[in-house]
A and B are shown apart, each in its own frame.
Chain A
Amino acid sequence: MTHELLNGLSSAEMDQVLGLGARLTVPSGTSLFHLGDPADRLFLTERGRIRLTLPMQVRGKEEEILVEERSPGQIVGWSALIPPYRFTLTATAPLETEVIALPRETLVDYFAAHPAAGYKIALNLAVVIGHRLHLFQTMWLREMQRNVEARSA
Chain B
Amino acid sequence: MNPVCIITALPAESRVFIDALRLRHVQDCGWRLYARDHYRLLQTGLGKLKAAAATSTLLHAQPDISAIVNVGVAGGTHPTGTCLQAHKITDEGTATSWYPHLPPRRLTQGLRSTEVLTLDRMSEQYRTDAVFDMEAAGVMSAATVYLSTDAIQCVKVISDNPDSPVQAFSKRVAIAHMQHTVPHVLEMLRWYEQMEDSSIRQSEIRSLSSQITLEVRHTISEGHQLTRLLHRYRSLTDTVLDVQQLQTLNSATAVRQYLETQLSDVPLTYE
Does B associate with A? no
**A contact residues vs B (CB 8 Å cutoff):** none
**B contact residues vs A (CB 8 Å cutoff):** none
